[in-house]
Structure 1
Amino acid sequence: MSIRIVPESERSPGVDHIAAVLLPVADSAYTRRAARLRQLADGHVMADYLCWAADLVSAQQATHEAAPLPEAEVQALTQALLDQTQAPLHSGHWPRSAHWHAVLGQLLLQLDLQPSMHSAPLQQAIAVLRHASQDQCDQWADALLAVLRGDEAPQDSALPEAGAAQILWSALSVYWRQLASQLPATGVAQAGEHRHLCPVCNHLPTGSLVMAGAQAGLRYVQCNLCESQWHVVRTKCTNCDGTEALDYWCLESEKAPIKAESCGDCHSYLKAFYLQADHQLELVADDLASLALDAEMEAQDVARSGFNPLMLP
């Protein structure tokens, strides 16, 4: 099955309705993630990095609050949805407005308020972005989105250095999350395969969540850019739709809340986070704190099919 994004009016829920897409909520987008990162940092071998990531996420939350999506852009989403021929917020085709530059500027201001951002390398990265023209930032954004979408970067655009790229991506993610949270749409499952890309913005996932509560057992993969989640049945590889060669790996017991699902057909893996085993899991934060599992998967000679937005490749 594949997923198509449609206006909300086209949704036809039934008694056993499974939402094909869960759009991100607009408010408090990053507060829980920052708190989870700080919780996981206690006694962790990567404590310094997890605390730094928590500060970056807190800056994203403050940016989201200080620079909300303008009402005019919210209204434009309805027409964009009607005009779509593919993912409505496809990062290679969506006409970024001036608002994304406002988001980037506000993020740079918020980062200056975080003591952990005062190291020389980070201050240099912030300065690079602060002194770059809007045209330069747009070229960097185009190249970064293309590479992390799995496309080739435009030939006339160079990627920024790593620190600036991380900050730039964090601003782009706030912007796309704001767009996705306001999209007047739902998802409809259709015949076909290829659910490895986000149906909202066409990006790769960070990982998958196996739900608890009323949705117990359902699996949703989460986009690394707009953070929408889309349903993928648990009997299929999230990368190639294969069903015959799936294996599950963990560092602890078979009841571990975090596992890696590998596929022998495409030789890739993606981590799964089981909320029934640990209701405190936050996908991005717990993924970052479980890089030891990624190291073990690399030793198995399989490649990760997604990436964490807090640790660019």
Structure 2
Amino acid sequence: MSIQMTPVQTPTGGVNEIVPVLLPALKERYAKRAARLMQLAQGHAMGDYLDFCARIAQAQQQLLEQMPVPAAQVAGLSERLGSGQAPLASSDYPRDPYWQQLLQALIERLYPEANATVRTTLDTLRRYTSTELEVLASALLAGEHEQVDSGQALFLWAALSLYFTQLASALPASARAHLGEQRQHCPVCTSAPLASVVMTGAQAGLRYLQCGLCECRWHMVRLKCSNCEATGALDYWSLDRQDAAIKAESCNGCHSYLKVFYPERDPDQDVLADDLASLALDAEVEREGYGRSGVSPYLFPG
């Protein structure tokens, strides 16, 4: 992997230095997402589902405040740095039972206002043993989506993502970029990117990929496919205008696509929320024969 996480180091101070990895900030993260989902729901064809996902985000915010990741979990993170491997690699990170506590608490918060279909799904999740939940989590994190009911995956992922995002935020880490490719997966947890973001502020104009699990962002040069890293074979699609705030970047080499977000054109964007609200763009690009290289945490296959 050409970006590696290392123990915290003193910045070199170069004015043009590109920060390889941006760890997620937790403050009001899910509250802001919930507000954006509710805003996007107004008059939207998927308004009811956007509102439901807003309730999930609200529950995540409550759990973040009331049930933060145990201090012992954070204390051990430094031991996983400096090996050259992703410190929170989802395939081998020893998950703490805490994530299952998050899942059960999430179920309790969502159950009272859930409809009959959702309650059936939540009841099924309640009945699983700890071992069964770990098997489902492992399959989901490995991308074996056919092994997990898509309705259950939504809630499993909400708990897992809240767990891994807290861990990522607490990493006492820097990142070091090396020459070479292999930036298709998150250097923190190895998950696939949800989308690209063309940044504003200190990283203005740079493209970062956003992880769909731990929500870290890592740098990848523009005009390069985020899936196969080919250059010169990219097209950009939008539903309305040339300066759209969301586009789809497709590759004629591997026939995949991933959305690109431009917060400069819409400062209120939240990648997860706006991704869900822009599924019409996915439909059009997939009609052209391209397959999405990432998965929406709010819409698993199945």
Using structure 2 for the length normalisation, give the TM-score: 0.95
> In the alignment, residue 112 of structure 1 is paired with which amino acid?
Y
Is 1:139 equivalent to 2:135 in the alignment?
A: yes
Cα distance in structure 1, aligned partners of 2:195 and 2:95: 26
Kept after mapping to 2: 8 A contact 1:36/1:282: yes
Say if 1:94 and 1:212 are closer, same or farther in 2 by CA, change over 3 A.
same
Give yes or no for contact 2:87–2:188 (8 Å, CA) kept in 1.
Answer: yes
Q: What pairs up with 1:106-255 in 2 under 5 angstroms?
A: 106-113=105-112, 115=113, 117=114, 119-147=115-143, 159-255=147-243
| Unmatched tracts of structure 2, length 5 or more | none
Which whole-Å deviations, capped at 9, do the CAs of 1:129-166 have from their partners, x for residues lacking one? 1121111111111111112xxxx58xxxx834222221
Distance 2:122 2:94 in 1: 25
Aligned counterparts of 1:221 and 1:160: Cα–Cα separation in 2: 26
| Percent of residue pairs bearing the same amino acid type | 49
The DSSP-based 3-state class of the residue aligned with 2:126 is helix
Report how far residue 285 of structure 1 moved. Answer: 0.6
Counterpart secondary structure, 1:221? strand
Q: Indicate the SS of the match to 2:162.
A: helix
Q: Deviations over 1:159-197 (max 9, x none)?
A: 342222211111111111111010111211101101110
Q: How many residues align?
A: 301
Aligned to 1:103: 102
SS in 1 for 2:81: helix
Deviation of 1:85 after TM superposition, in Å, equals 4.1
Structure 1: tracts of 5 or more residues without a match:
none
Give the conservation status (yes or no) of the 8 Å contact 2:56–2:110: yes
Structure 2: how far apart are the matches of 1:132 and 1:77?
Answer: 29
- Kept in 2: contact 1:198–1:223 (CA 8 A): yes
Q: Could you tell me which residue of structure 2 aligns to residue 25 of structure 1?
A: 25
Secondary structure in 2 matching 1:207: strand
Q: Which amino acid aligns with 2:259?
A: K
The change in CA–CA distance for 1:59 and 1:165 in structure 2 (over 3 A counts) is same
Amino acid at match of 1:2: S
Q: Secondary structure at the match of 2:274?
A: helix
- d(CA) in 1 for partners of 2:151, 2:63: 18
Q: Report the Cα distance in structure 1 between the residues aligned to 2:97 and 2:5, rounded to whole angstroms.
A: 25
Q: What is the Cα deviation at residue 12 of structure 1?
A: 3.2
Equivalent position amino acid for 1:179 in 2: L
Question: In structure 2, what is the equivalent of residue 46 of structure 1?
Answer: 46
Q: Secondary structure at the match of 1:272?
A: strand
| Distance apart, 1:281 and its partner CA | 1.1
Corresponding position: 1:273 with 2:258: no
Give the counterpart letter for 2:29 in structure 1. Answer: A
